[in-house]
A = this chain, B = another copy of it.
Amino acid sequence: MTTNKGFCASVCRCFFEYSTPQILVIRSTKVGTLNRIIQALVLGYVIGYVCVLKKGYQDTDGVLSSVTTKVKGVAVTNTSDLGLRVWDVADYIIPPQEESSFFVLTNLIMTLNQTQSHCPENVGFDCVTDSDCKAGLSNTRGDGVQTGRCVNFSSVARTCEVLAWCPLELDLQPPDPPMLAGAENFTVLIKNSIRYPMFNFNKRNILPHVNKTYLQQCVFNRVTDPDCPIFRLRDMTTEAGEDFQTMAVHGGIMGVQISWFCDLDLPASWCVPKYTFRRLDNKDPENNVAPGYNFRFAKYYKTNNNKETRTLIKGFGIRFDVMVFGQAGKFNIIPTLLNIGAGLALLGLVTVVCDLIVLTCMTKRNLYKENKYSYVDDFELLPDGTP
């Protein structure tokens, strides 16, 4: 019983013990000033960088976004093949809808009335006799399957005959100026709804103070109309430092960046999108193949005798990738406590740094050492181990 009671009391005593380090206070102008300067630096860092700049007292969330786009405008082309022709949105947006991107046709090479038949390959597959061609061969860089015959390409050149969509597309440079030069005046309405799920905060890039009438006639301008979500294509390339007409010849990729960085401790109306534009592909002609952006597509028809023909179009154009990014922050007790804790821990490091300086550089370092340190000696192995 006595042992038990003694043990119990001992545990109790232990439970009510509070251990706190013994402190040596050095009263010295030099040492004190040094200490306060280092403390001020750490406090300045914690308050200035962690709290003010990085907003360490906030919880943050990433943006969820949905984008729709709608291009408007018509362009005219005048070619010997097609005559005067008007291109509208159903003609030049390919494919007609994408998730967060749209492609505007600005230039094209058309090959009309192709049928599955035989014709001479383009220059590059030259031959002299049939033995230079191999029936059934289909080269990756060729346009069809060789029939094994060598035929006249022109009055001077002979090339291997192929089974292909004939006549073949001529491997030409794209027209310059671009066929749909008028595309620079097209406008695009970009509708963007965002959501910060953690804070249940929704917003869209058509701001509350913008009304229908304004939207029906405005065009984005960084100075005069910064809230208008309708962009003229030429303005976007100009902001990115590119010339629309030059870019339109070979095509390219434009990034439309919408950033939503919001401090939700401030009024919600201060959370507005910021638009920036940047060319994403590399226009440097060196070390490059197929500069710009183009792809081939076809329109298929059937003739009266049920034979399939197609119009092949090598379309050059600008793909606009709408990229939405952002982050929202709002006060939360947990990150606040974490950052206060980390700040206090950093203050503890002040002592480490000050001790280092005080005990090695100060003239009275031996006085300080004597008072700071006590010693227990326990050197069995070292005979001369006297302090």
Contacts and interface: CB of A to CB of B under 8 A. Distances in A.
Contacts of A35: 18
A281 B21 contact: no
A84 B99 CA distance: 32
A171 to B, nearest CB: 13
A341 B334 contact: no
Taking chain A's interface residues, is the majority helix, strand, or loop, or is none over half, making it mixed?
A: mixed
Given A22-B374, A90-B296, A101-B99, A27 B385 contact: yes
Contacts of A210: 287
B18 A32 contact: yes
A91 interface: yes
Nearest to A30: B378
A63 B371 CA distance: 56
Contacts of A187: 140
A241 interface: no
Nearest to A101: B99
B364 A312 contact: no
A97 interface: yes
Contacts of A84: 116, 163
Given A97-B103, A344-B349, A378 B144 contact: no
A186 B140 CA distance: 6
A58 to B, nearest CB: 17
27 contacts: A12-B382, A17-B32, A19-B24, A19-B351, A23-B373, A24-B376, A28-B378, A68-B253, A72-B141, A74-B138, A91-B298, A94-B95, A96-B296, A98-B98, A99-B99, A99-B101, A138-B185, A191-B282, A193-B253, A207-B287, A209-B287, A212-B289, A216-B289, A299-B300, A341-B346, A367-B376, A371-B374
Which 3 A-B pairs give the minimum distances between C-beta atoms?
A16-B32, A66-B280, A96-B297
